Structure formats: structure tokens, C-alpha cells
Chain A
Amino acid sequence: MKECMVRLIYCEMLGYESSFGYIHAIKLAQQGNLLEKRVGYLAVSLFLHENHELLLLLVNTVVKDLQSTNLVEVCMALTVVSQIFPREMIPAVLPLIEDKLQHSKEIIRRKAVQALYKFYLIAPNQVQHIHDKFRKALCDRDAGVMAASLHIYLQMIKENSSGYKDLTGSFVTILKQVVGGKLSADFNYHSVPAPWLQIQLLRILGLLGKDDPRTSELMYDVLDESLRRAEINHNITYAILFECVQTIYTIHPKSELLEKAAKCIGKFVLSPKINLKYLGLKALTYVIQQDPNLALQHQMTIIECLDHPDPIIKRETLELLYRITNGQNVIVIVQKMLDYLKESQEEYAIISLVGKIAELAEKYAPNNEWFIQTMNAVFSVGGDVVHSDIPNNFLRLLAEGFDDEKEDHQLRVYAVQSYLALLEEEDKLYPQKFLQVMSWVLGEYFSLVTDVDPEVILTKLHSLLKKSFVTSETKAWIMAAATKIASHTSCSKTVDEIIQELSSSLDTCLRQYAFELKHLCEDKALMKTLLPFDASCSDLVVDASLSFLDGFVAEGLAHGAAPYKPHHQRQEEKLSQEKALNFEPYGLSFASSVSSSGVTGRQSPTGLSFGSDISGNSAETGHKETNTLKLEGVRKLWGKEGYLPKKENKTGKENEPQPVPCGSLLAGQVGEAPALQPEQGASLSEEDKEKQQLASTLFIGLGSSAGVSLMGKADTATQKFKRKSKITETQQLSEEASDFQNSAASNFDPLLDTIPVNVEDSEGSMHTGLRKGSPSSSDTVEDNLAFETPQSLRKSVLDDRISANRLSQSSLFADNNIEIFQPSSSAQCESASETPLVPSLPEELEELPHSKVVGLCQSDALALHLCKVWTDESLLLIVFVSNKTTAALHAVNLVFEETEHFQILESATSHFPVIEAQSVEHCQKCVRMNKVCTQAVLPASVGYQSEMETCLEFSVTLSLMDFIRPMEMTTEDFGKLWLSLSNDVKQNIKMSPCQDSLSAALDTLQQKLKLHRVDVIGNEGILACQLLPCVPCLLHCRTHSGMLALWFRSPCAALPDGLLYQCQKVMEES
């Protein structure tokens, strides 16, 4: 058997499916002798994956082996657990593994830590309570155990560095010992002590010291030591040095170390060894933002690397250049990137490079011609693999324009001209996306070019329509363009031809377009109003509810048509019809099968109250149950809002959103129905519009960044100017400086001559960089502190509020408002600065539960304060921007960055044209949590113009509890919902003696976590809450012998984990 298994492993490795043997691998692990067991475990860990169903069969074996007295067996069990284990079965082995942490053999301890690391990775909340033991492992006398625990710490610190600052000292000591050679010689690799361990530690230190001068202080010595020790010439020491450099540039800077690190990088970059060169470039790329000076030192090497025969080196160099691009060097850099792009074959490389080029082009374009031409190159080389937001952004840019009307006009004219020229070449194949962009631009702005007859453009579009390589989606774009052009010309032959040809097209979509065009052509006046020139930016209101069809529907109903039913309702009815055919016993058996499947899946807790309710009831509830079950699947397909989203999606392409109004559209076209027709026509030009809108909602974060880059572009001129004036202040250099700028803009070659100037120049810019950097970093620290301290306070206030009746709250807590909120915020202001400005909430929000106003960040001119308001529907962030200066501030722009966790409803930016001196403005943002996490940071920045353009960065910490609201429901609803939810998490928590009754525990949960208490039956209680907007999470609690068994269920997989964590926290606190 053992031999067979080994052969099976080999088969699988060569790529032959051998799933038939998986079960035997498990059997072998279960029953074999020691050696066989080992092979069995190995095979299991190689064959199966985390969610494989057979894995459950292994759990019992693992438990048995963990309890074995044979060390080897325990070891094997731990090894397999640390590689693969089903998430839901962790509680079964967790106590056993915890015991192993105290084992006398270090290899067992080490493996136990590894197993816990695995658990932490797959279910962090399950091992929340053993953090103390991790600390013990970190201090273990065996280095192997300590090294294993570092992995856990690296992971934890990655997620939340602030919680482990106190361990910095320990990590530093460990690193010192390792570097000093205190470990046994077993750990040496080519006489370097434990290099991988060092790298691990350096990473941890980097994470801990980031933006934290005090913590960074502790590690300067040891970093210096590591740098010094790693001076032997061996690859592995280079790896350590690289990590050192990264850490040094990540933590709070210290000039001596920076100098040494820079020297190191220099050594790397200049090395003849290609791998080192690569490493050097990578390091340079990493540090370049903090220290552009370094790039100037190595510019000749960089240029050499740019022409390096190895494409990998080339690519890394481009990455580096991408980071140092500015308004002056953009032309050269983009040119280099395009050159590389043309040679590149790999799709993935093309996508990323194209994205970068487009970004640079938008940000730093020196003039219109260049911009359009670059984008043309991007589209034609990038082809159809380019990310769809690149063309979307580009079109948006064209449509929305900049501040300067004339510039816009030029840009558009140039775009039209260049596209016409491109289309001249008859037989050239262009990528679909490029054609789409072209047709949109031509359709929208053709009339700006006066010397070209629209007829010519139409002919070109027409010839495109005939080409076979053009997909039907692109054809739709072209048709839209043709329609727009047609609206501005008197009757043209080409239009007629197009109509004629496409009216018989096999593609229904195109045929539809042709018909629309035909009817619009018959009524020119209407057409003109429908398709006004350059209206792509004005907002069109889309009647998503299709209310204009109400009349028709009413008529249809009057004539006896059946009322329309949403899809899920139809499904339900179909089911109920089937049900009518069923006999009673059948239904019953189904119900029992459901409950039994529930049992196998999730092992229901003993005597689940509502579960028994249902099974105790008659067959009818059984049927209902089947309905809800089926509905669950449907709901997933359709989303919470029911039918609406579908309508919206459809309007773009097929203008018939539902079967009933379909006839009416045609009728409306043939007959009069003027009310209908404008809408219909509008949806035509809306197609583009809608795509854009869709894109802007989908990529709202990206959109905002485009907004930023737009600003950036408009400002490049002013920035240049300012820079120059600064240099003139430093005297005598002005001539050479402008000299340098010219040379930098034109080419790289003459740079050698001007190196001394460069250094001067960049020193100037570095100063500003430093100046900008330091206040903001200290701000964030302050900010963090400010956040931490009031949290408990805020929480307690909040709890009171929630437990109290909402209505009486304002009167009850009127005192509190004065005593707690006001003084502390003003005190904070005083301590932070001398501003007399104390922001306060507008009255209508004051009524709602809210946090106190906390300072976010400030500069000389601005102070930002934040208040969270917990409304029933959402979390509102109220940001107060106060002007501390005596002059008015102009063009203040507040931008929130969208992260993977959070979504900002409506727009992520706020713009205040003017903030008067000594006054406070506020804006509010509605935030939603997209991806569940216990706590995450929402980065944002504020830019304003006083004497010069300044940008402040800050961030807002939002926790899961900000988005949790109680969910009111009846016990019966709870039971139904419970069965329809699939993701569940169970955990037992110890209850403290003071609150060992169920009601006390429930009170705590209700008050602190905003859960709604649905019902209490005996020693069981059920609670419900929802994650905004409407993701429910149900909680079932049961007490037994001092333990509280929590059982969560939710449609969202991550939500129960997050809530469980919060529950554990509050239960520990109370």
C-alpha cells in the first residue's frame, strides 16, 4: 500500500488526476504502522486542499495521534495539521495543541506553534485567546520554537502594528543575539548566523517602526550592527542587507543610517553581478520616493540598465523611472516605456505597463498633441487587454475637460484630427477598444473640426461597420457615433445606406439602432434636442423605475393582462404549484431530510429551540421551509433590491427591460407616444453616458484619483514656476537650474555635465519633502493617540445611549453633551494649537447617536476634525475643515481614497471653493463596509491653496462596530432566516463569575454590540443584527457550566468571525 501511495504521489506530480486514491491515503494514515502512517499523512497533505470533503475524515486520526504517547506520531499529526486542516474542525484539536506548547521536546513545541500559525492564518479569531502563549513561545529557550513564533507575529503585526509596540524591545534583543552569533552553529549558513531568521526579524522591525519615531529609536543600534556584520561577500548577506535597507527606509529616518543604506544600494547597483544589480534596482525603487537624490547619483547606471539586454532588468528600471516621473521627464520616460511595450509579449506585463503609461500621461502630459498621441499608442499597442478603466478615464478626461476652455477645445480638436488621420489608413487593424474610443470621440466632437465634412466621417464609420473584425459591441459604439453625427447634418446618403444595410442585420442590437436612427432622421427637430452637442457632461436623469410606462401597464391591466410578477415570485409560485401535486407525507420527508442535512452540515446544538419548533409543526411549515430554501438560491442571483438592478443594467443594450413593455416601445415608435420617444432617444446617447456612469460608480476610487491627477496636471505649470523661484532665492543658481531643467526635459545625455547642479536642485526639493513629511507623520501619531483614548469613553456613552430610549435621549444626555463632548474637544484643540475654532455638529445630526469630535490632523492653516454619526441606514463621517489663518483659503479639496474594505457612497471628494478666515466648514460622507474586517483604515487627503499648493494626508480608523445595527425581527422570522443562512461559526467563551447568568451576558452583548435581543428561552437566547446596508447576522447563545456557547450565522462568510471577535472582546472587558 505504501509503495502504491508513493507511486500515486508521483502520478499526481506529473499531472495525472488520481482522485480515486485519496481515500486510501486517509485510510493509510488511519490504520498503517508508523512508516505507513507517515506516507499516508504526506499523501493527504499533498492531495487534498483546505475545502476537500475527505479532509473531515482525517480529523479523528489527528486527534488520536495527538494523544498518542509515541513522539513520532504526535509529530506527524502536528505536521499535517500545520499544513492542512479543515477550518470548522479547529476547536476539536485546539486544546490538544495548546497542551503541546508545554511539551518537553522542542520539536513538538515548534510544530505546535506552526500548527497554531496555520490556525491563525485560516481563522484568526479562533486563536485569539492564546496570544499569551505566543508570547511564551517567543521567549522559548529553543531558538527553533522562537523562530516559528516569529511567523505568527509577523502576520499579526502586519494586520495591526500598534498592538505589539511593547514587543519591539524583545525583537531587538533577539536580533542582537542572532547577529552577535549567540545561536548554535547549527543555524549558520555559510558562516552567517540564521540569515532567514534575521530577515524575518528585520521585516517585523520595519513594520513596527513605521511612522513611529519612538519605536524606531530602539532599533537604530541593532540595524547599524546588522549592516556592519553583513559585510562579508556572499549572496545571503546581500539578502540581509537588502532587508536592512528596506527597514531603514521604512522606519522613522535617521540620517546616519540612511547614509549607510544609500552606500549599500550604491554597491548593489554598481555590482557586475546581475542578480545584485536587480536587487539594487529594487531597493532603489523602494527608497526613491523618500530620497530622489539617490537616483541622481546613480543616473548613469540607471541609463545603462535601461538598455540592458535582460528584459527583466529593463522592466525593473522602468518601474523605477515610473516612480520618479515628473512633468519634465515624462516624455522620455513614457517613450522608453512604449519602446519596451512594443517588444513585450507577455499579456500580464502589457496590462500593468499600459496602466502605468496611461497614468503618467494623464498626470504629467506637457501638451495636448503628446497626450493624444501617447494615448493612441497605448490603445493600439495595448490592444484589448488594457484594463477597461483606461479608455473610460480617457474619455472622461476629454468630456469633462480642464479649467481652461481653450485648452479643452484644442485637445478635442486634436483628438478628432488624429483619429481621422488614423482612420485614413484603410486596411489597418485596430483593437476594439481603440475603435470604440475613436468612434465616441468622433461622434461627440466632430463638429469642432470645421474643415472636415461630416459626410467624410460618416463614410469612414460606414466602412468600419462593414469590416468583419469589428465586434458587434464596437459596432454599437460606431452606430451611436453615426447617430450623433447624423443629427447635425442634413439628409445624407451614407446615413441612408447605413440604415438600409443594418435594418436587415442579424444582430438585433444593431437592427434596433438602425431603426432608431431611421425614425430620428424623419424628425430632425426632435433629433437635435435629443442629441445636443457636447452634452456628455450634463447629468441625465435616468428613470430607472420606468414610470413612463405606467400608463401602458395600466392599460394592459385594464384589458385583462396578468400583472407582472418579479422573477422570484414566479419561481415561488411555480414551486407552490408543484407542491399542490405533492402528497402530505412527501412534504414531511422532505422537511426531515432538510433538517438532517442541516445536522450533518453544522451539527445543531442540543435542543435548539426554534428548530424543534419547526419540526414539531405540521407539514405546512415543512413546505414553507422548502420555499425559503429555494428562495435563498434565487436571492443570491438577484440581490437584495429585487428586480431593479436588472432594469438598470439592461437599458444600455437592449431597450426592452421586461417582456410586457416590449411591445409598447415599438408601438411608441410607430405611433405617436411623444412622451415615450424622447426617453427612448435619450437612452441612445445615454448608452455612452451610462457606460461612463457605470464605470464611474464601479471605479469610483479610480475616478477620484483621476480627479486628482487632473488637478495635478493643471498645476504643473504653477509648480514649475514655484520651484524656480525657490532656487532663485538660493541665488546664483538660477541660470544653471533652468539649464538643468531644459536638459532634463530634452534628454538624459547631457546630464553628466550638470551633476553638481542637480544635487543642489534636488536638495532643495528634498528639504520641502522633509518638511512636508515630518509634520504629517507626527500628526498621524497624535491622531492615533487621540483615537485611542476616547474610544472607551465614547463606547460607554454610546452604550448608555442605546440602552436608553432614543426619544428621551436628548434630554437625558444633554448634560453629558456638555460635560463630556465639549470640554474634551476644546481641550484637545487647545493642546494641539491655539485655534479658537471648535467645530460642532449641525443640529439635525446632534440628535442622532454620534461620537465626539476628534482632531484628525492639522497644518499651519487648516485643522481637520471628525465626528462619526451612526444613523440607522449608514455611517456618516462628518469632517470639519477649519481655517485657522486670517485669510480665506481657496480651493480646498477633500478626497477619501476608496479601499478594499470601504466604499464611499456618492462621491469620494468634497470641494470647498472658499473657506473664510477663522471659520469652519463641514462635509459629510456616507461610508459603507464592503469587505468585512474588524478594523481598517480609510486613508484620505485634503489639498488647499494658500501661498502654495499643499496637501495633507490623514486617515480615519473605522471598526466593524461602526457598521453594525440592531435588526428587529420576530422569533419566527429568526427561525426561518437561520435555516436559510449557510456560513456559521461556533465558539465557546468563558464567562466571568460576575455575569454567569444568561441574561447578564445577553445584556452585555445587547448594549455593547448593538445587537437586537429577539427572544430568550430557558438557557438559550437569540440575537440579531445587521451589517449595513442589510447583511443579517444571527446569533444563538447558550449557557452551560460557566461557558457561553456562541453560534453565529450569516450570508457573509467573514461577518461571523468579525462579530465573534467583538463578542470575545466585550465579554472579556465586562
Chain B
Amino acid sequence: MNKARHNPINTAAMHGALILYTLIALFPVFVILINSFKSRRAIFREPLALPNADSFSMIGYETVMKQGDFFLYFQNSMIVTVASLFFILLFGAMAAYALSEYQFKGNLVMGLYLALGIMIPIRIGTVAILEMMVATGLVNTLWALILVYTAQGLPLAVFILSEFMRQVSDDLKNAGRIDGLSEYTIFFRLVLPLVRPAMATVAVFNMIPIWNDLWFPLILAPAEETKTLTLGSQVFIGQFVTDWNAVLSALSMAILPVLILYVIFSRQLIRGITSGAVK
């Protein structure tokens, strides 16, 4: 960082604001985490206290481990999220490239049609989707969820990515064509790396709602072996009694993988080698 351009007061103020924001954002997570290690009575008596020798209890985690196959739920959630993101990014980027790079009849109409999905919530079509999944025999498979989430994420992905792909220098693509690269190589090797920040943005936008979704797992894949983590945690929330220890423990464990995915994607947000390609 350049010292000459930063005076200490500005730096302090900036860091102060950022730290404050971080604290506010992390507070709920922190409360969930500490309470997941406390006995039920301690949770209600002093929700904000740290677990101490008296109140410390792993009962929540024990319940979670005993009841239901939590590692399977975990795995299901992970598979659904990662696969959906993969397909959203792959197909979204390909569609966006076609729309931004090639002039064909109906290009604009196609773009508008694909973007329309941004405004129409996919849940409106739940009944039709369910009928379709029943007809194709995909109910109670992870594919049902992956397909639905991919469809749900594509409109925004195409919209954002095509905007970014329009900005990739034509000269660079043309240089590739003259050097004999195929259109696929140009797409995967030249264009995709340059829109990586946009891809990461799309991934982060899509990841959290998919991970947290309860609606579609409940409707399309409620079977024991296809339950996602969010759905699996619901067994602890009853109409009359809620096992708070278990809920908090399950939530604590659910945070971890999203956090890891987020770190991976946000790394990509940092532009590295892109500068200097074209002036």
C-alpha cells in the first residue's frame, strides 16, 4: 500500500467502521456458536454468557449425531450446492458468451427471454415442477434439486456474465482465432479467466439461498437418504417443543461448509493477472 496516499486518521476511521460492521455481522453467528455448547437451562438463563465449567454441555451435538444420519444430510447439501453452482456457472457462462459474442437472429429476444426469469420466482411453478419430477421419476433424488436450482440460478447468471463478457477485448479473442485456437479454447482459456470476478460474484449470490433452501428439499426430495441439512435440522423444531441444543448445534455445523466455499470464491474476486493484457 502506498503510504503517501493514506493519512492515519482516515485509515483508523476506515478500519473502525469495518470492524464495527464485522462485529455486528458476526454477532448472531457468535451467539449460535456459544449457545450450542451450553446446556438447555444455561441457554435460557444467560443467552449471552460464554459456556463455563457449569454450563458446558455437548448434549446438542450428541443428539444431532444420534438422531438421523447427519453426515449423509451434510453430504447431500454439499453435493446439491456444489453441483448446482457448477452447472449454473458452466451453462450461464456459455449462454452469456453466445449472447455477447455471436450476432445471430433473435439474439436480443433470446437475451430478454433468459433474463425474464430474474423477475419470476421459480416457486410459482412448484406444482408443475413436482408433476414433472414425478413423471420423470426424479422425485426423491438429488438430481431433482440440482436441476431446479440450476434453473433458478441461470437467469441472473446469464444476465451478469453477458454484461461482463461484452467487456472482454475483441482483439484478444481475435488474436486467439488468428493463432488457431478453437472457439471452445477461446472461451475456456481466454474469456473465462478474465470474467472470473463476475463468476465468483454469481457463485456467492447463488450459494447461500441454495444451501439454506427448505422449500424444494421438502417437496421434491424429503426421503431420508436425500434429505439436505436444512431439512434434516427441522426434526428438532416441533410445533410444541423445540430441541434448542440440537438446533443450535446443527446450525453451527451447517455454517462451516458455506464459510469454506465462500472463502474459495471470494479469493477469486481479487483480480490478479488480468491487468496488462490489453491497454
**Co-assembled chains A and B:** no
Give A residues with C-beta under 8 Å from B.
Answer: none
